Structure 1
């Protein structure tokens, strides 16, 4: 009987102790939940839905259903998409250390693992300074005559054809400007080999990453290896000649880290391909849209700004000056509004380096995180009547973090000054010396994956004196 009483007392003591501790000790906080959303099909996720339709429709549909933060699955990766200025700043600026820049592995392979896009920390800082330095106003002001020559040559060649695919021609133009900024005056053989093989890489970059013979991706992988060989030859020649050029290649070759180490040839090659990638499609897309917007609104063409510069330069017989390109305020607003309307870069890729909580939702370590620039640029809370093309809206600076055509934070595009310069130069010669008509349908958008007018905006271009 006494033994039973002891067991009863022990049981009651244990029970009372448990109840006391449960009352006075805080329970662990519940784990944050994943954002709402759909992951789509296995592996493919919602890749086809995103890249085969107007991204405005994809993003706005998701945001209306789930809110400013939602999950999905694209390009083989689970993702969290964020559609507010605050969220974009959280990922790209204030908490940037929690998110590393990343792309799907298939895209890293195409560009090269050492490209600055894929890094952070000391290596990224070093490479960014080199690229930004070679594209700074001080560096590119001396490129005005060469960029102008490329622009005039391109426009004259288009005028000699019945119909041109505007986007394809703009890609050639921006590629040539990219080559100029990287290598200066490059040998014709190297330029053509780079152009031929880069074109193959470009076609496979956004294809399904099936490395099977005959596929666009497989062909791109082979072309990427050839690009490495071509660049090795250029680098070797530059080293042998010991030229101290101030172009990007020269900056990369002459750079030493704190230990006195130079960049390897592979590191240089990856960063050159990365700059070409950044310099071509995005700039070409913007230029194509600018042509369409100017065509659709003839009043924009009647601006006195470019005509005044043309007349100052002896009716176009004298070259543009750097100072003149710095004094085109109306044209600059047209460019800004084109960047907003087209939103060529719909989003940017980041990857959570640890579990992150944002507004009560969990962003798991390893998941891709995509701030949605397009959603922000087309939000009526920040831009009145966002579907209207209105350059005057940029007479006043946009609210902070609502206009990010070149990204934001330490990973913002380091070549944006060069892009704006080549656009200003081409527009000047286009509107003062040429006229053009869009051929066929003037509506519709295609995605590859950058949004461009349907069929690349076929147009007929001719000089005013034709």
Structure 2
């Protein structure tokens, strides 16, 4: 009898503590006009409900149900923080142009990637963002087209040619990792990308986990993978720093780490070696995951859209007809891939790699008559507009030609918007276009499991990795 009584006492104390927290909260914010909705149980709130929606590929419906119930502004608790959910074009404009909202991330992500562009704020964020924009500006990306071409050709020859069956997601994940590692780490990337590919996947899966280091949990595995990756990048960065000391002012910043070390020596930013490593790691994590998802779902869509595949192939064949087989693609070639990029844009609309983003209010903010208290999180579900029938006609249809028409501002948000546009969008465009050029010109494929579904883990992930039956294309 003692154990049931003890359990009942503990539950009573827990309920009392929760009620006390709720009382203090509502008393403190009694003067605020908070948005509709409920915070729910402290710390937990609607977290498990949202994570379950991600795992069952029902996240878009989860958002729409909430918007239908409370409107485009509502409050809840997510991942341990009181949060205001905002959705719609007006909300997107507000979020991406308001200086009182700083990009923030979950506690898990901060622990996993450290002091990076994903977690910094204020002057430090401006320094890092400015450096990233300088490194990834079109003039710099133009110089990388030949390197990307080489990476793609080598990858296709090694992982596609001669194969009957290819599991797309893990295969293109290795390609995307190789491309971004080459840009971030330079020639030292070759060994790095092969030895740590699995660790990057493990780290990526831990981003939306609870930051409690329980053995064998996602977060614990992610932290172990993060430590391995950080150690490897630190070794590379230290060697580059030593090389710069010997090279002097004649050194060229052809990779991200060298570029950041040179800027540091010039006093452009005040980041430490550890900060540079963290930013290199976060850049690799973010870039290779989103690119691999986009390539995977383009392949998935093209398998069932013969007319669209024929148009993409015709465009790529015309570009190749003006080149020798051994010639690498150029910046101008990529600029001609207009229809192929529309297919990529439509893929990003229907299956956005990033479902939304978290921001933190640095001061009390008012939006549409509601207050967002200082310190609260703002969850921007910007991709909700992608499936809005009032913005995109018949949104469930896959139609690249919809991007031949004007799309209203802040309605299509795969790369963010306004002054907070993703600085890597041009790099991503080149990477995707070069990869699709060689894949559609050399192969045809069939989906092996047409019933295969996908979930967010946290990026869109086919349950089987999208295995396809591969055939060499019969050239006309």
Please state which band the TM-score falls in when normalised by the shorter chain: 0.7 to 0.9
SS in 2 for 1:461: strand
CA–CA distance in 1 between the matches of 2:167 and 2:268? 48
Task: State whether residues 38 and 72 of structure 1, in contact with CA within 8 Å, keep that contact through their aligned partners in structure 2.
Answer: yes
CA–CA distance in 2 between the matches of 1:33 and 1:465? 65
Task: State whether residues 150 and 328 of structure 2, in contact with CA within 8 Å, keep that contact through their aligned partners in structure 1.
Answer: no
Task: State whether residues 285 and 344 of structure 1, in contact with CA within 8 Å, keep that contact through their aligned partners in structure 2.
Answer: yes
Residues 1:85 and 2:86 aligned together: no
Q: 1:307 aligns with which of 308, 317, 330?
A: 317
Specify whether residues 187 and 344 from structure 1 end up closer, same or farther in structure 2 by C-alpha distance, changes over 3 A only: closer
Match of 2:19? Answer: none
Cα distance, 1:195 vs structure 2:
3.1
Specify whether residues 433 and 260 from structure 1 end up closer, same or farther in structure 2 by C-alpha distance, changes over 3 A only: closer
CA–CA distance in 2 between the matches of 1:146 and 1:322? 12
Task: Give the stretch that moved more between structures: 168-177 or 210-219.
Answer: 210-219
Match of 2:256? Answer: 248
CA offsets, 1:353-404, max 9 Å, x none?
1222211222122111022122111111211111111111111231111111
Match of 1:213? Answer: 215
Cα distance, 1:262 vs structure 2:
4.9
SS in 1 for 2:392: coil
Match of 1:36? Answer: 36
Q: Give runs of aligned pairs for residues 158-197 of structure 1, distance below 5 A.
A: 158-186=160-188, 188-197=190-199
Q: 2:388 aligns with which of 379, 386, 395?
A: 379
CA–CA distance in 1 between the matches of 2:106 and 2:181? 26
SS in 2 for 1:33: coil
CA–CA distance in 1 between the matches of 2:140 and 2:153? 22
CA–CA distance in 2 between the matches of 1:43 and 1:162? 49
- Structure 2 portions without partners, runs of 5+: 1-29, 245-250
SS in 1 for 2:264: coil
SS in 2 for 1:255: helix
Cα distance, 1:465 vs structure 2:
6.2
Task: Indicate the RMSD between aligned Cα atoms, in angstroms.
Answer: 2.2
CA–CA distance in 2 between the matches of 1:225 and 1:100? 27
Match of 2:129? Answer: 128
CA–CA distance in 2 between the matches of 1:433 and 1:126? 43
CA–CA distance in 2 between the matches of 1:208 and 1:37? 23
Match of 2:303? Answer: 295
Runs of 4+ in 1 over 4 A off after TM superposition: 257-262
Cα distance, 1:350 vs structure 2:
0.5
Task: State whether residues 203 and 220 of structure 1, in contact with CA within 8 Å, keep that contact through their aligned partners in structure 2.
Answer: yes
Specify whether residues 260 and 318 from structure 1 end up closer, same or farther in structure 2 by C-alpha distance, changes over 3 A only: closer
SS in 1 for 2:153: helix
Match of 1:463? Answer: 472
Larger Rg: 1
CA–CA distance in 2 between the matches of 1:259 and 1:247? 19
TM-score by length of 1: 0.87
Specify whether residues 229 and 344 from structure 1 end up closer, same or farther in structure 2 by C-alpha distance, changes over 3 A only: closer
Residues 1:278 and 2:286 aligned together: yes
Task: Give the stretch that moved more between structures: 377-386 or 159-168.
Answer: 159-168
CA–CA distance in 1 between the matches of 2:260 and 2:287? 17
SS in 1 for 2:93: helix
Q: 2:241 aligns with which of 239, 242, 246?
A: 239
Aligned residues: 433
CA–CA distance in 1 between the matches of 2:284 and 2:269? 25
CA–CA distance in 1 between the matches of 2:268 and 2:174? 38
CA–CA distance in 2 between the matches of 1:204 and 1:348? 16
CA–CA distance in 2 between the matches of 1:465 and 1:265? 52
Cα distance, 1:187 vs structure 2:
5.3
- Structure 1 portions without partners, runs of 5+: 1-29
Cα distance, 1:188 vs structure 2:
3.7
Q: Give runs of aligned pairs for residues 52-201 of structure 1, distance below 5 A.
A: 52-53=55-56, 54-93=58-97, 96-112=98-114, 114-156=115-157, 157-186=159-188, 188-201=190-203
CA offsets, 1:159-197, max 9 Å, x none?
444433212222111111110111222154334344353
Task: State whether residues 255 and 262 of structure 1, in contact with CA within 8 Å, keep that contact through their aligned partners in structure 2.
Answer: no
Match of 1:348? Answer: 357
Specify whether residues 257 and 121 from structure 1 end up closer, same or farther in structure 2 by C-alpha distance, changes over 3 A only: farther
CA–CA distance in 2 between the matches of 1:37 and 1:260? 45
CA offsets, 1:417-452, max 9 Å, x none?
111101000111111111111111345221201223
